Amino acid sequence: MMIPPDIEEIARKIKTMEIRGAALIAETAVSCLKSIAERSRAKETNEFIKELDIVARRLLDTRPTAVSLPNAIRYVMYRVLQAEERGEGIDSLREITVKACDEFIKNAKEAIGKIAEIGARRISDGDVIMTHCHSTAVVAILKAAKAMGKSISVYATETRPLYQGRLTAEQLLQNDIPVTLIVDSASRYFMKRVDKVLVGADAVAANGAVVNKIGTSMVALAAHEARTLFFVAAETFKFSPETIIGELIKIEERPKEEILPPEIAMKGLKGIEVRNPAFDVTPPDYIDLIITERGIIPPQAALTVIQQELGPIIYEKLGMYSTYRES
């Protein structure tokens, strides 16, 4: 099976970060699986699953750090493969795939609303918040806090090299939340004026460490030094089951052109080595709490969340479902 051009284009956009944000990537991935299921002309169940598998593998190749992507695909494929084991026919498998995709997207959207409600309660009237990069969950919490009548203001880092912090600033301004845009390296300078730091996550490990946009750990270090509370907002589908069995979350390195465009490199920097890691790891000791749709947890409780939310996928026939694990 050839991957349809529209699906290939979506995969390209995820890889180039035209489609970005862990939640949106996950929802986009399952939408692709739903599209394949709806248009499939497969006559046999194994042929149908092979079509899904080809698309799943292509999507998994796009962003190695975004745990939400394999977890979203697991959510769907786990249910499809279970149905195949039960002897379900092709029509049933197609229906189960579509239903699983719709359920995941519905749950993901509801999770943001619950995180917003829970997180907003931890914001006090008059708080000055610092955030890094762009997170749908973080923006939702800040909007909910404002809707509760709380007066807040925000420092948003630019988040180089792709400046996702500008998107955060734009969305906050649209909701009449005062925001000051600062360069990433100024986070320590302004930390003494900040009451709480609030960031999103691309992945949460079993030990409570958080993988987020590069620079997050430096903001966390500055907050730790200043004794400023550091909060993480993350849906449970961003928790990494692989880390239970000792696997590390792979840190994606982006193209050097994001930092040094060719037209600049030609002006005396041609041939210079450039490193462009997209994420870093914030240790659990620097995190005060993680806000999930299931409630607020200390980072040390991440293992329990993984066991409760993703346990069946980890422990039941792990080998069969390992196709949908990052490697």
pLDDT of residue 318 exceeding 50, the answer is: no
Residue type, 76: V
Structure confidence at residue 312 (pLDDT): 53
Domains held by the chain: number: 2
For 38-86, the three-class secondary structure string (H helix, E strand, C coil) is HHCCCCCHHHHHHHHHHHHHHHHCCCCCCCHHHHHHHHHHHHHHHHHHC
User: Choosing from 32, 101, 127, 133, which is the catalytic residue?
Assistant: 133
Catalytic residue check, 61:
no
Whole-angstrom CA distances from 147 to 113, 123, 199 are 13, 12, 20
Structure confidence at residue 253 (pLDDT): 93
Q: Are strands 210-213 and 279-282 parallel, antiparallel or unpaired?
A: antiparallel
| One domain for residues 59 and 163 | no
Please give the residue that has the higher pLDDT: either 187 or 64.
187
Residue with tokens 């907003």: 120
Structure confidence at residue 267 (pLDDT): 83
d(CA 251, CA 280): 7
Question: What are the tens digits of pLDDT across the range 179-226?
Answer: 999 999 999 999 999 999 999 999 999 999 999 999 999 999 999 999
* pTM summary value: 0.86
Phi-psi region of 169 (alpha: psi -120 to 50; beta: other; left: phi over 0): alpha
Question: What are the tens digits of pLDDT across the range 229-274?
Answer: 999 999 999 999 888 766 678 899 999 999 998 888 778 888 899 9
| One domain for residues 204 and 294 | yes
pLDDT band at residue 319 using 50, 70 and 90 as cut-offs = very low
pLDDT of residue 320 exceeding 60, the answer is: no
| One domain for residues 95 and 124 | no
Average pLDDT, the chain: 91
| One domain for residues 79 and 214 | no
| One domain for residues 9 and 41 | yes
Under 8 Å between Cβ of 257 and 17: no
Whole-angstrom CA distances from 260 to 126, 149, 186, 266, 269 are 40, 44, 22, 10, 9
> Which whole number is the average pLDDT over 123-144?
97
| One domain for residues 293 and 319 | no
Element (H, E) at 120: helix 90-120
pLDDT band at residue 327 using 50, 70 and 90 as cut-offs = very low
> CA 241, 105, 129, 133 torsion: positive or negative?
positive
| One domain for residues 316 and 306 | no
Catalytic residue check, 202:
yes
Structure confidence at residue 268 (pLDDT): 83
Q: How many helices (H) and strands (E) does the chain have?
A: 12, 10
DSSP label at residue 224: H
Structure confidence at residue 323 (pLDDT): 45
| One domain for residues 39 and 118 | no
pLDDT of residue 65 exceeding 50, the answer is: yes
Residue with tokens 């692709």: 32
Phi, psi of 202 (to 5 degrees): -95, -25
| One domain for residues 37 and 135 | no
pLDDT of residue 139 exceeding 80, the answer is: yes
Please give the residue that has the higher pLDDT: either 159 or 60.
159
Proportion of the chain above pLDDT 70, given as a percent:
94
Under 8 Å between Cβ of 196 and 123: yes
Q: Poorest-confidence range of 105-114, 129-138, 208-217, 268-277? A: 268-277
pLDDT of residue 175 exceeding 50, the answer is: yes
Structure confidence at residue 141 (pLDDT): 98
User: Choosing from 202, 280, 285, 288, which is the catalytic residue?
Assistant: 202
Core vs surface per residue 31-43: b (16+ CB within 10 A) or e: bbbbbbbeebebe
> Which whole number is the average pLDDT over 158-178?
97
Element (H, E) at 213: strand 210-213
d(CA 147, CA 159): 27
Residue 278, domain extent: 114-310
Structure confidence at residue 324 (pLDDT): 47
| One domain for residues 34 and 139 | no
> Which whole number is the average pLDDT over 309-316?
53
d(CA 106, CA 163): 29
Which CATH number is 60's domain given? 1.20.120.420
| One domain for residues 65 and 143 | no
| One domain for residues 169 and 74 | no
Please give the residue that has the higher pLDDT: either 123 or 19.
123
d(CA 14, CA 29): 9
